[in-house]
């Protein structure tokens, strides 16, 4: 650094930079105290996808185990209802505004998990 840059940049050890009664920032911090960074929660499609995957996995597992003594049709119908409800909930959360690749991946994932449970229940038809 040359002498001009040292004159422009305040020393971090001197403390806060004051502008009247406002603390702008210490030279070693990124933002002044009055600047509100955009830290609001903006979910992304992978969050909706992961939530749908995990919730469906748990719900279908519980349904499969609880309905072991019943006909396979009961399990398949209940798994279908649960899958449609989880899919609708995921769509309303924001997946409808996501890219087509995320939408397709979500539909395929929901269908595959449903098919896996239905295949397992098919032995009890």
- Delimit the domains of the chain by residue range: 1-40, 45-124
pLDDT for the residue numbered 113:
98
pLDDT for the residue numbered 79:
98
Q: Report the half-sphere exposure of 60 (CA within 13 A, side-chain side).
A: 28
For residue 8, pLDDT over 90 is answered with no
* Residue 19 bridge partners (DSSP): 22
For residue 98, pLDDT over 80 is answered with yes
Alpha carbon 115 to its chain centroid, in Å, reads 24
Q: How confident is the model over 12-56, as pLDDT tens digits? A: 556 555 566 665 555 545 555 555 555 556 678 999 999 999 999
* Mean pLDDT computed over 61-85: 98
The band of 120, judged by pLDDT with boundaries at 50, 70 and 90, is very high
Backbone φ and ψ for 78, nearest 5 degrees, come out as: -65, -40
pLDDT for the residue numbered 26:
53
């Amino acid at each position: 650094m040359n002498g001009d840059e040292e004159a422009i940049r305040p020393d971090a050890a001197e403390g806060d930079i004051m502008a009247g009664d406002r603390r702008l920032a210490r030279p070693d911090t990124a933002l002044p105290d009055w600047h509100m960074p955009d830290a609001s929660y903006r979910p992304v499609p992978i969050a909706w996808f992961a939530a749908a995957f995990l919730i469906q996995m748990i719900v279908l597992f519980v349904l499969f185990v609880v309905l072991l003594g019943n006909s396979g049709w009961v399990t398949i119908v209940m798994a279908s209802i649960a899958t449609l409800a989880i899919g609708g909930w995921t769509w309303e959360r924001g997946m409808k505004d996501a890219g087509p690749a995320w939408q397709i991946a979500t539909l395929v994932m929901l269908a595959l998990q449903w098919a896996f449970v239905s295949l397992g229940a098919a032995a009890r038809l």
